[in-house]
């Protein structure tokens, strides 16, 4: 039985404040700390990289722990615990003391990321449990990722309305107000799993390694796709300021175009996915995004209108880029759980989150130090458009071609791969997957 719109809204609610948090973490915080006298480009990149390495390791551990304790600790209980820790971390992170030392940044990042993990991994795994059919999973993923886009718009609005020099403080207040409310409303949803599973003992590391090849392929694709998104996200405000001459305080309208286009285009991508499958639609979205973003490498002062068009075109693919792989993964995770006769959604989404965070850690750990290698501002500004525009576009185009090729076969189809801890899936599960695994 599918969820009502009111239930979908309650489920999607926590994604809004999490998205409000994501934008400053990946766009504003790197630029803020890179400009601080006591830190700078290279050290900021190193500290952000180290903190994100800790963050990505915590994701699969959280996923396995959530699966192991699923019968005793609900996803909402983990999420409620994470709220307190996250709120304790974002205030010193978003409103740093003057002359903050590197250890200050590292501690604030650690608390924020750990709280985020306690919320986000059980939250996404819970979404995979709520419904049992493909259309329902797409709706759940679409509502959640649509809420992500709404949250990004709210973050931009808060930043635009904030007093001069206080956008991060405004976004911290927004998270503080919305996150406890959203998690509280999520407690009104039915908390029992959609179907019972027989217990098969404690989940093991071997069980993680023997996940379906289709899941590992999707995790790998997600990693490179997140890397292609993470590099321009890290450099966006720097690029807008140094290359286009758009001040950081005025760059919000470009992001509004980007996320607004994502919200408006998302229903169209869902309809396409219902006809052609998630993988084919996702590959097409990445192809369009790569081609549209490629000209960014040749932009310069006075090209704000051209850059706004690029934001519009690439933003129109954003909903597909985040909702469709999540819906595909929810289906694969659900079948993995059926084959193993134990919860695996937490493990699968923990690995998925780890891959994305590793990519974002590499993005900031590569982009900022690379800029610091060039002599003076002139050298860094000359390298900026190629690092910001060309490299991500090429990664995106290669991924699009790969996904479209994989979608023509069974490489992203779980029904042709061993997925249980014993190396095989029950015959009844395989039979069911041959239809449900169609792309």
SS3 76: helix
Please state, in angstroms and rounded to a whole number, the distance separating the CA atoms of residues 418 and 366.
Answer: 36
In degrees and rounded to multiples of 5, residue 400 shows phi and psi of: -60, -45
CB 136 within 8 A of CB 51: no
* Mean of pLDDT values over 214-237: 87
Cα–Cα distance, 164 to 232 (Å, whole number):
25
Average pLDDT for 310-317: 93
Query: Is 314 or 369 the better-scoring residue by pLDDT?
Result: 314
Would you tell me the crossing angle of helices 278-293 and 304-315 to the nearest 10 degrees?
170
Q: How far is CA 123 from the centre of its chain?
A: 13
Half-sphere exposure (Cβ direction) of 21: Cα atoms closer than 13 Å: 25
323: burial class by Cβ within 10 Å (0-12, 13-18, 19+)?
Answer: buried
What mean pLDDT do residues 143-171 have? 84
Of 117-131, 140-154, 192-206, the least confident: 192-206
CA separation, residue 416 to residues 128, 210, 340, 432 (Å): 21, 14, 15, 12
1 to each of 85, 130, 131, 339, how far by Cα in Å? Answer: 35, 9, 7, 22
Question: With bands split at pLDDT 50, 70 and 90, how would you rate the model's confidence at 413?
Answer: low
Distance CA 12, CA 142 (A): 9
Spatial CB neighbours of 70, under 8 Å, sequence gap ≥ 6:
193, 343, 346
Measured distance CA(433)–CA(102) in Å, rounded: 50
Which CATH class name applies to 7-189+213-436?
mainly alpha
Q: How many residues does the chain have?
A: 439
Which runs of consecutive H residues, i.e. helices, occur in 167-277? Answer: 167-186, 205-209, 213-242, 252-276
Mean pLDDT to the nearest integer, 161-177: 86
Q: Is 434 exposed, middle or buried (0-12, 13-18, 19+ CB in 10 A)?
A: middle
Contact 72, 154 (CB under 8 A): no
Residues 6+ apart with CB under 8 A from 436: 134, 331, 335, 415
Cα radius of gyration (the chain) = 21
Of 249-258, 266-275, 282-291, which gets the smallest average pLDDT?
249-258
pLDDT at 260 over 50: yes
Inform me whether the pLDDT recorded for 206 exceeds 70. no
Structure letter (DSSP) for residue 388: I
pLDDT at 208 over 60: no
Say how far apart CA 174 and CA 200 lie, in whole Å: 43
* Mean residue pLDDT across the chain: 79
- Torsion, Cα 229 306 382 389, to 10 degrees, reads 20
Specify the higher pLDDT residue, 40 or 220.
220
Torsion of the alpha carbons at 36, 42, 48 and 51, rounded to the nearest 10? -120
CB 398 within 8 A of CB 204: no
Identify whether the C-beta of residue 65 lies closer than 8 Å to the C-beta of residue 399. no
Q: What is the pLDDT of residue 194?
A: 41
Is residue 336 within 8 A of residue 348, CB to CB? The reply is: yes
Over the stretch 114-132, which tens digit does the pLDDT of each residue have? Answer: 999 999 999 988 887 887 7
Tell me 416's DSSP state: G
pLDDT, residue 139, reads 85
Whether 93 and 105 have beta carbons less than 8 Å apart is answered as: yes
pLDDT bin (cut points 50, 70, 90) of residue 202 is very low
pLDDT, tens digit (0-9, with 9 covering 90-100), for 330-373: 888 777 776 666 677 788 888 888 888 788 778 877 887 777 77
Q: Evaluate if residue 427 carries a pLDDT over 70.
A: no
pLDDT at 186: 92
Rounded to an integer, what distance in angstroms lies between the CA atom of residue 413 and that of residue 72? 32
The answer to whether 110 and 93 have CB atoms below 8 angstroms apart is no
């Amino acid at each position: 039985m599918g969820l009502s719109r009111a239930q979908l809204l309650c489920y999607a609610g926590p994604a809004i404040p999490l998205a409000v948090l994501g934008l400053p973490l990946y766009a504003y915080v790197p630029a803020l700390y890179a400009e601080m006298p006591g830190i700078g480009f290279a050290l900021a990149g190193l500290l952000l990289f180290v903190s994100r390495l800790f963050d990505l390791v915590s994701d699969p551990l959280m996923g396995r722990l959530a699966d192991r304790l699923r019968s005793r600790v609900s996803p909402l209980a983990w999420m409620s615990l994470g709220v307190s820790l996250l709120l304790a971390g974002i205030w010193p992170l978003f409103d740093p003391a003057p002359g903050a030392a590197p250890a200050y940044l590292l501690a604030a990042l650690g608390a924020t990321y750990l709280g985020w993990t306690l919320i986000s991994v059980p939250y996404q795994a819970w979404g995979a449990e709520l419904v049992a059919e493909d259309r329902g999973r797409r709706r759940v993923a679409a509502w959640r990722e649509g809420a992500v886009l709404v949250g990004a718009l709210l973050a931009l609005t808060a930043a635009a309305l904030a007093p001069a020099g206080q956008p991060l403080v405004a976004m911290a207040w927004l998270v503080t107000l919305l996150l406890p409310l959203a998690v509280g409303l999520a407690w009104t949803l039915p908390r029992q799993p959609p179907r019972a599973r027989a217990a098969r003992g404690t989940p093991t590391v071997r069980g993680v390694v023997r996940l379906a090849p289709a899941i590992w392929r999707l995790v790998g694709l997600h990693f490179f796709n997140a890397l292609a998104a993470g590099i321009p996200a890290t450099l966006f405000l720097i690029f807008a300021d140094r290359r286009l001459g758009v001040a950081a305080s005025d760059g919000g309208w470009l992001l509004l175009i980007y996320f607004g286009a994502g919200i408006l285009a998302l229903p169209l991508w869902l309809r396409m996915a219902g006809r052609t499958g998630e993988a084919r639609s996702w590959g097409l979205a990445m192809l369009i995004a790569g081609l549209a973003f490629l000209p960014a490498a040749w932009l310069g002062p006075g090209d704000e209108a051209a850059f706004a068009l690029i934001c519009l075109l690439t933003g129109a693919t954003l909903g597909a880029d985040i909702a469709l792989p999540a819906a595909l993964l929810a289906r694969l995770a659900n079948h993995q759980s059926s084959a193993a006769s134990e919860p695996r959604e937490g493990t699968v989404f923990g690995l998925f989150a780890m891959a994305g965070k590793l990519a974002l850690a590499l993005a900031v750990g590569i982009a900022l130090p690379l800029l610091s290698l060039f002599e003076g501002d002139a050298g860094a500004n000359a390298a900026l458009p190629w690092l910001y525009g060309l490299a991500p576009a090429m990664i995106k185009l290669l991924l699009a071609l790969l996904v479209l090729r994989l979608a023509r076969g069974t490489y992203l189809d779980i029904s042709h791969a061993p997925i249980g801890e014993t190396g095989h899936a029950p015959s009844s599960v395989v039979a069911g997957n041959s239809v449900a695994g169609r792309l």
